[in-house]
Copies of this chain bind each other. A is one copy, B any other.
Amino acid sequence: MTESDFTSILSRHGIRPTQQRIAVYKYLVSNPSHPSADTIYRALSEQYPVFSRTTIYNSLNTLVEAGLVRTVNICPEEQRFDATIDDHGHFICEKCNGIFDFDLNPEVLDKLCPEGFKFRQGDVFFSGTCPDCSR
């Protein structure tokens, strides 16, 4: 994806494609490791010397409201962010602390949802041991 791709994606979602928002969104797309706001801040601060922490939060909130980014409530102490917005599951390895994405069949998700309830978003979290740590 080129710089102008990001620009047009933001525009299409109704938000002004500022340098900062593009940088944050680009970082999330390139780093699908569910980074925290602080992780993003520290990474971008190296590239762009002046980049306020508040702007990271502002940009993330804007991107979430625009539907381009999802929040992931994996750890209670800090919010994590994800540019993959289609429904998918998260596996958190309790040994290596790695976070793994996995596909989620939308129909299965539908079946899980209790009758009469209409879900907009579904999250599935597993915690346990990943294949590598199981050995």
- Asked whether, in the complex, the Cβ of B124 is within 8 Å of the Cβ of A128, the reply is no
- Asked whether, in the complex, the Cβ of A129 is within 8 Å of the Cβ of B111, the reply is no
Number of copies of this kind of chain in the complex: 2
A38: chain B residues at CB < 8 Å are: none
8 Å CB interface, A60-75 against B: 71, 73-75
- Asked whether, in the complex, the Cβ of A130 is within 8 Å of the Cβ of B108, the reply is no
A124: chain B residues at CB < 8 Å are: 112, 122-125
In the complex, whether A116 has a CB less than 8 A from a CB of chain B is yes
**Total chain A interface residues with beta-carbon distance under 8 A:** 35
Closest to A71 in B: B76
**Complex CA distance for A53 and B130, rounded to whole angstroms:** 36
Task: Scan A100-135; emit 1 where CB is below 8 A from any B CB, else 0.
Answer: 101110001001111011111111111111110010
A121: chain B residues at CB < 8 Å are: 126-128
**Complex CA distance for A112 and B74, rounded to whole angstroms:** 18
Task: Scan A36-80; emit 1 where CB is below 8 A from any B CB, else 0.
Answer: 000000000000000000000000000000000001011110010
Interfacial residues, chain A to chain B (CB-CB below 8 A):
71, 73-76, 79, 89, 91, 94, 100, 102-104, 108, 111-114, 116-131, 134
Write 19 A-B pairs (CB below 8 A) sorted by A numbering. Answer: A73-B75, A73-B125, A76-B79, A89-B112, A91-B117, A94-B120, A102-B117, A103-B114, A104-B112, A108-B108, A108-B111, A108-B112, A117-B128, A118-B129, A119-B126, A120-B127, A121-B126, A122-B126, A124-B124
